[in-house]
């Protein structure tokens, strides 16, 4: 009797883990949809710093497989776990354990734990950030593995052959297939999260809140120094972007920022500044190629001007998860810079000092993440959201 109660308890733990895992996966799916839509960047509770940052995971190209979000695949996995747990609970209450169900439970536990190890390793070594919510999913998968071993051991003497009824198979396939609806629904909801008014920007009440926070913030004098500048020196509005070439947020912002600025003609210019979250040149962060990328981009800018800088800037942001020293060098050489000139530039204290000055400037402003957007010397919260930025620029230029 005690053994049966223990078995039932383990199966219920397995079931509860499946349900909780599904809920957590749903949250990560919704979070990813919002971040990819440019909504609430940096606002989630799991964004603690550059190292523990769920937005970085959500924006990474590794957050999807074959067009399907990893979060969606997690929901499907935990749906299967829940179905198997319910079937196991029913059969054990009838005094037996189906052989096929037992095998599927074991397989699912191994899939869960191996996937968790692979994703955690990828997160830490390639993306360079860790997601707390993902960590909860990994812990749940380890719990599944532990519970499965206990269930398998306790049911070894009551295993019987089984057949799945057509109705059970239809129900299971229907439940699993239904999960595929969540991704397009979440993406659609995220796109409407800022209540866009027919493409005219963000809702008036939201804009009022953004402008209030912006105007009440501290104002700083941010000099261009030796940084690349895009736009007219006569511009009424200056945007200063602090970015990191390994930062997924920055790569996403790179797609929109120049487009928004150019839509205002000569009224808006951009100053590009570096804040590499790389211990090689900055005490903050855990990236390991960002300093080299910043040095290379600055070398190209120094020798080939803004057009050359834009070429390598585009390359670095578009290939940030794969670029290395060799590929950076090849791209630099393609701009017409010789190997000797590039090596001399990298060895130059001038370039390193320019980047160090920008890092110190960022620290003096209190930067703790990238991209950080300043408009006319004031920090703009959610400035990386193109709708927010465009609406704020319109308001400033009205005055």
DSSP state letters, 32-64: HHHHHTT-STT-STT--SSSB-HHHHHHSGGGE
Domain boundary among 139, 164, 191: 191
Residues 34 and 170 in one domain: yes
Residue 100 reports pLDDT greater than 80: yes
Residues 252 and 373 in one domain: yes
* Chain segment 320-351, per-residue pLDDT in tens: 888 999 999 999 999 999 999 999 999 889 99
Residue 198 reports pLDDT greater than 70: no
| pLDDT above 90 as % of the chain | 61
* Chain segment 210-242, per-residue pLDDT in tens: 899 899 999 999 999 899 999 999 999 999 999
Distances (CA, A) of 197 to 42, 184, 185: 24, 21, 20
Q: Are 256 and 386 in contact (CB under 8 A)?
A: yes
CA 44 vs. chain centroid, Å, equals: 11
Question: Is residue 391 situated within a structural domain?
Answer: yes
Residue 264 reports pLDDT greater than 90: yes
CA geometry: angle at 44 spanning 282 and 30, to 5°? 125
CA geometry: angle at 272 spanning 213 and 238, to 5°? 50
Residues 174 and 213 in one domain: no
Question: Is residue 27 situated within a structural domain?
Answer: yes
Residue 21 reports pLDDT greater than 90: yes
**Total structural domains within the chain:** 2
CA 313 vs. chain centroid, Å, equals: 20
pLDDT the model gives residue 196: 45
Residues 112 and 169 in one domain: yes
pLDDT band for 119, please (50, 70, 90 cuts).
very high
How far apart, in whole angstroms, are the C-alpha atoms of residue 382 and residue 380?
6
Bridge pairing between strands 229-230 and 268-274: antiparallel
Residue 60 reports pLDDT greater than 90: no
Residues 39 and 128 in one domain: yes
Token output for 293: 């990328």
Q: Which residue has the tokens 């229907």?
A: 174
pLDDT the model gives residue 3: 65
Q: Which residues span the domain enclosing 6?
A: 2-191
Residues 155 and 276 in one domain: no
Residues 129 and 212 in one domain: no
φ, ψ for residue 269 (rounded to 5)? -130, 160
Average pLDDT, the chain: 89
Hey, which bits of 216-363 come out as E strands? 229-230, 237-243, 268-274
Token output for 356: 């160090």
Question: Is residue 162 situated within a structural domain?
Answer: yes
Residues 176 and 281 in one domain: no
Question: Is residue 167 situated within a structural domain?
Answer: yes
φ, ψ for residue 26 (rounded to 5)? -65, -40
Residues 141 and 219 in one domain: no
Question: Is residue 197 situated within a structural domain?
Answer: no
Question: Is residue 199 situated within a structural domain?
Answer: no
Instruction: Please tell me the least confidently modeled range out of 10-14, 122-126, 140-144, 362-366.
Output: 122-126
Residues 221 and 361 in one domain: yes
Residues 147 and 238 in one domain: no
Q: Are 269 and 232 in contact (CB under 8 A)?
A: yes
Question: Is residue 306 situated within a structural domain?
Answer: yes
Span between the terminal Cα atoms of the chain, in Å: 79
How far apart, in whole angstroms, are the C-alpha atoms of residue 377 and residue 386?
18
pLDDT the model gives residue 375: 97
Residues 124 and 209 in one domain: no
Edge-to-edge strands, sheet with 237-243? 229-230, 268-274, 237-243, 372-375, 378-379
pLDDT the model gives residue 40: 66
pLDDT the model gives residue 189: 82
Question: Is residue 198 situated within a structural domain?
Answer: no
User: Any idea what the CATH number is for the domain that residue 29 is in?
Assistant: 1.20.1440.130
Q: Which residues contact 215 (CB under 8 A, 6 or more apart)?
A: 378
């Amino acid at each position: 009797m005690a053994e049966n109660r223990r078995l039932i308890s383990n199966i219920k733990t397995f079931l509860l883990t499946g349900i909780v895992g599904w809920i957590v996966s749903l949250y990560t799916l919704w979070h990813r949809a919002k971040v990819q839509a440019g909504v609430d960047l940096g606002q989630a509770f799991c964004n603690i710093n550059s190292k523990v940052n769920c937005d970085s995971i959500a924006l990474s190209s590794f957050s999807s497989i074959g067009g399907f979000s990893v979060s969606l695949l997690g929901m499907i996995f935990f749906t299967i776990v829940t179905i198997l747990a319910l079937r196991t609970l029913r059969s054990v209450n009838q005094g037996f354990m189906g052989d096929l169900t037992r095998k599927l439970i074991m397989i699912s536990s191994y899939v869960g734990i191996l996937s968790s190890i692979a994703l955690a390793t990828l997160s830490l070594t390639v993306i360079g950030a860790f997601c707390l919510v993902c960590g909860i999913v990994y812990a749940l998968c380890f719990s599944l593995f532990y519970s499965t071993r206990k269930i398998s051991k306790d049911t070894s003497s009551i295993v019987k052959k089984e057949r799945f009824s057509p109705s059970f198979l239809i129900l299971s396939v229907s439940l699993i297939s239904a999960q595929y609806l969540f991704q397009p629904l979440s993406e659609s909801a995220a796109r409407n999260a800022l209540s866009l008014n027919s493409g005219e920007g963000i809702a008036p009440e939201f804009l009022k809140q953004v402008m209030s926070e912006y105007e009440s913030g501290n104002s700083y004098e941010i000099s261009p120094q030796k940084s690349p500048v895009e736009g007219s020196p006569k511009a009424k509005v200056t945007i200063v972007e602090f970015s990191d070439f390994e930062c997924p947020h920055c790569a996403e912002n790179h797609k929109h920022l120049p487009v928004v600025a150019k839509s205002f003609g000569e009224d808006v210019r951009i100053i590009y500044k570096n804040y590499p979250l790389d211990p090689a040149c900055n005490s903050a962060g855990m990236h390991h190629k960002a300093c080299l990328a910043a040095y290379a981009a600055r070398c190209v800018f120094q020798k080939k001007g803004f057009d050359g800088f834009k070429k390598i800037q585009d390359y670095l942001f578009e290939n940030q998860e794969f670029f290395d020293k060799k590929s950076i060098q090849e791209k630099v050489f393609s701009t017409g810079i010789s190997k000797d000139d590039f090596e001399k530039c990298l060895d130059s204290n001038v370039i390193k000092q320019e980047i160090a000055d920008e890092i110190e400037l960022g620290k003096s402003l209190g930067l703790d993440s990238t991209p950080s957007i300043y408009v006319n010397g004031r920090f703009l919260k959610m400035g990386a959201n193109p709708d927010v930025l465009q609406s704020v620029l319109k308001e400033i230029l009205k005055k």
